[in-house]
Amino acid sequence: MKGPIKRFIARVCGKKFVGGVRRQETGDRRQESGDRSQYSGVSIQESVFRSQLFSPCSLPPTSLSPHLPTLLDFLNRIYYDRGLPGRCLSHPISWLSTYCYILKLRIASAYQEKTMTIETVATKPFSDQKPGTSGLRKSVPVFQQPHYLENFIQAIFNTLDGIEGQTLVVGGDGRYYNRQAIQTILKIAAANGIGRILVGTDGIVSTPAISGLIRENNAFGGIVLSASHNPGGPEGDFGIKYNITNGGPAPENITDAIYAETKVISSYKILSGADINLDRPSSFKLGTMDVEVIDAVTPYVKMMEKIFDFDRIQALLTSGKFKMCMDSLHAVTGPYAYAIFEQRLGAPKGTVLNGIPLEDFGGGHPDPNLVYAHDLVEILFGQDAPDFGAASDGDGDRNMILGQNFFVTPSDSLAVLTANAHLVPGYQNGITGVARSMPTSAAADRVAAKLGIDCYETPTGWKFFGNLLDAGKATLCGEESFGTGSNHIREKDGLWAVLFWLNILAVKGESVEEIVRSHWQEFGRNFYSRHDYEEVALEPAKEMMARLQKLVLDLKGQQFGNYEVEYADDFSYTDPVDGSVSKNQGIRIGFTDGSRIIYRLSGTGTKGATLRVYLESYEPDASKHDIDTQKALQPLIDLAEEIGQIRQSTGREQPTVIT
């Protein structure tokens, strides 16, 4: 120990304590089992312990100030039996670690309350801080501009009424800039009177886990740091969104208010002081605010255990007759996947691929689709392929499901889960309804009709499902963009979907392909594909959409070859719960045979624009279900080009990604 630290601990704890620790640091590990003499020089008399516990703690001397982080880390290691020999810090004097823990809190509190000050920093608005469908997403260099992050966080706090003294949950997917952003957010939160913050170890928490923690802890809300499936790294993307008290993304009235505040903000408040240690579970004081660094994995695993039949899934994974692999794409779900599949469910080591979160996702694109999860696709479509494969995205809320040589579209996945929900313990008493985003295929609609439950069509963005879930109108929700979830939280949930599929497989004893083909046999097949034109010039793309908005006004009843237009509009949604209206949500062209063409500009990219074209054709004839999807949709692909003039507007001959 350094001199100032040793002298301060000696003054507060007693010289024997310091001597004992010094002997530990020099390697004196006594081995006599059960011999109290092994604690010689470390023991603190219980009377001393009690008197110190309840007596005022002196402030650290000025000379100690530069060493405070080291002191707090030292006490952390004692409390958690890390870094120092554990034998003399455990039973029978386990109260010693408790003493150190309380001492740590008192030192930190006394020091920080005296030395930390709230600063008010003058700033100017940025013109580009309008949240999209999933919060504010920009490149890392944009967020690193002076005051940019601070402005947006302060705008959130300025917008929320009654936030003083409340609890928030903070975490991110571990991408580049995550740790730095969290330290800034904590200091701004402390300066704005937040009472308590829960933050994940290393600042890493999956978006579904954040939603669960908000609900479990009755928190006021949460701040999620992620750009989801967008790439990371110093030149990659970063994102921030605010989740409300139900655990779901803030609705439009709140995000609109935040945006309005960003346009007039003139200052932000921030607490001065050193960063806190996020490396291990612990507790800190930032001014008057409590910060708890927590293990975010265990609560999530326990939540999944309450929904799914883990015993049955474990029997499947340990049977020796079933193989699976889970690709976390070096993103946030790695620790969760290890804990669930390899540790709790007994899957063989190596089941989880790319399970260590990396700031740049290993140089990859953490988007679970056939293009960006190509390594997993090659495994499932190669020789000796596993029976089941899955992938998740950057923040863990999306999923891709694969069988041997078989890809399950997200739209079909939602329909299959809806049809088989009764096989899962958490939904065995039935589901109240299902909801899908407008571009998602109508496959789930057909299941809902047979089950006699409602099916809701919402705009793109998980926030639109929140009211339906809160009101009990829907139990399962899904989006074509590889997102599925339920009323257990208020976010989509990638690992939840994987476990749902495994539960169905364990009960039915059939392959992924057999389950999906059986579903088509009963309900018909919705051939479906999405064509993405990424990073196209923004203005021509906007002009194309403006032209289509005018065109659809007169399309109803028109004939295009074998296709007759049944309806055409710029989708508008009226929330059945609160009556709120969301307009301009995408161009829909529906035909009398159930086919659809949809055009949307995505709100989740950070460079240029992404034009998404969705194509859907319904086929009830089982003899035609094996037709290649792109061939089955070719007439609609040609018609989408004819109506939209995509090549002319984008300058692209082919889509960037086809899923």
129 has pLDDT over 60? yes
Looking at the fold, whether 111 and 134 belong to one and the same domain comes out as: no
Instruction: Evaluate whether residue 509 is within a structural domain.
Output: yes
Average of per-residue pLDDT across 563-590: 95
Residue 419 tokens, joined: 């049809």
DSSP 135: B
Residues 172 and 284 both lie in one domain: yes
Span 108-131, mean pLDDT?
A: 82
Q: Is residue 642 part of a domain?
A: yes
286, 151: one domain: yes
The question of whether 580 is a catalytic residue gets the answer no
Q: Determine the Cα–Cα distance for residues 95 and 320; give it in Å rounded to an integer.
A: 46
With respect to residue 307, please indicate whether it lies within any of the assigned structural domains.
no
| 273-291 mean pLDDT | 91
Q: pTM higher than 0.85 for the full model? A: no
Residue 95 in tokens: 């109260």
Catalytic position from the list 228, 282, 529, 617? 228
Residue 27 has pLDDT above 60, yes or no: no
Give yes or no: residues 519 and 529 share one domain: no
Whole-angstrom Cα distance, residue 368 to residue 370? 7
Q: How confident is the model at residue 533 (pLDDT cuts 50, 70, 90)?
A: very high
- Residue 367's identity, in one-letter code, is D
Grouping H, G, I as helix, E, B as strand and the rest as coil, residue 234 is coil
User: pLDDT band at 202, cuts 50/70/90?
Assistant: very high
* Residue 159 and residue 237 in one domain: yes
Predicted confidence band at 37 (pLDDT cuts at 50, 70, 90)? Answer: very low
Give residue 141's domain range. 120-295
DSSP output for 385-399: --SEEEEE-TTS--E
100 and 137 belong to one structural domain:
no
**What pLDDT is attached to residue 76?**
63
Where residue 640 sits, what CATH number does that domain have?
3.30.310.50
Q: Who has greater pLDDT, 102 or 517?
A: 517
Q: In 273-311, which positions are buried (b, 16+ CB within 10 angstroms) versus exposed (e)?
A: bbebebebebbbbbbebbbebbebbeebbebbeebbbbe
What's the confidence (pLDDT) of residue 414? 98
- pLDDT at site 97: 55
Which tens digit of pLDDT belongs to each residue from 161-177? 999 999 999 999 999 99
What pLDDT band is residue 59 in, cutting at 50, 70 and 90? very low
What is the rounded average pLDDT of the residues 610-617? 96
Least confident of 454-468, 534-548, 602-616, 645-659: 602-616
Residues in the chain: 659
**Is residue 536 in a domain?**
yes
Identify the pLDDT of residue 4: 57
Same domain, 271 and 236: yes
* Same domain? 185 vs 108: no
C-alpha span between 140 and 151 (Å, rounded): 15
Q: What is the mean pLDDT of residues 216-230?
A: 95
In a domain, 168, yes or no: yes
Using CB atoms within 10 A of its CB, is residue 326 exposed (0-12), middle (13-18) or buried (19+)? buried
609 confidence band (pLDDT: 50, 70, 90): confident
Residues 492 and 547 both lie in one domain = no
Q: d(Cα 616, Cα 594) in Å, to the nearest integer?
A: 8
- Single out the residue of 368, 365, 362 nearest to residue 391, CA to CA: 368
Q: What is the pLDDT of residues 238-271, one digit of tens each?
A: 999 999 999 999 998 999 999 999 999 999 999 9
For 7, counting Cβ atoms within 10 Å of its Cβ (0-12 exposed, 13-18 middle, 19+ buried), the class is middle
User: Which of the listed residues 493, 523, 553 is the one where a domain comes to its end?
Assistant: 523
Candidates 229, 214, 180; CA nearest to 396 is 229
Binned at pLDDT 50, 70 and 90, residue 77 comes out as: low
Residue 273 — pLDDT band, cuts 50, 70, 90?
A: confident
Listed range (6-20, 176-190, 312-326, 460-474) with the worst mean pLDDT: 6-20
**Judgement on whether residues 52 and 150 belong to the same structural domain of the protein:** no
Q: Is the pLDDT of residue 528 over 50?
A: yes
pLDDT band at 69 (very low <50, low <70, confident <90, very high): low
Beta-ladder partners of 290: 196, 285
Give phi and psi for 471, each to the nearest 5. Answer: -85, 0
User: Is 159 inside any structural domain?
Assistant: yes
534 and 409 co-located in one domain: no
**What CA–CA distance (Å, rounded) separates 544 from 257?**
29
State the total domains in the chain.
Answer: 4
Residue where a domain terminates, one of 76, 96, 115: 115
Q: With respect to residue 447, please indicate whether it lies within any of the assigned structural domains.
A: yes
- Regarding whether 484 and 535 lie in a shared domain, the answer is no
> Which of the four pLDDT bands, split at 50, 70 and 90, describes residue 101?
low
Provide the CATH number for the domain around residue 218: 3.40.120.10
Domain membership flag for residue 304: no
Place of tokens 């089950």: 451
Out of 295, 330, 353, a domain closes at 295
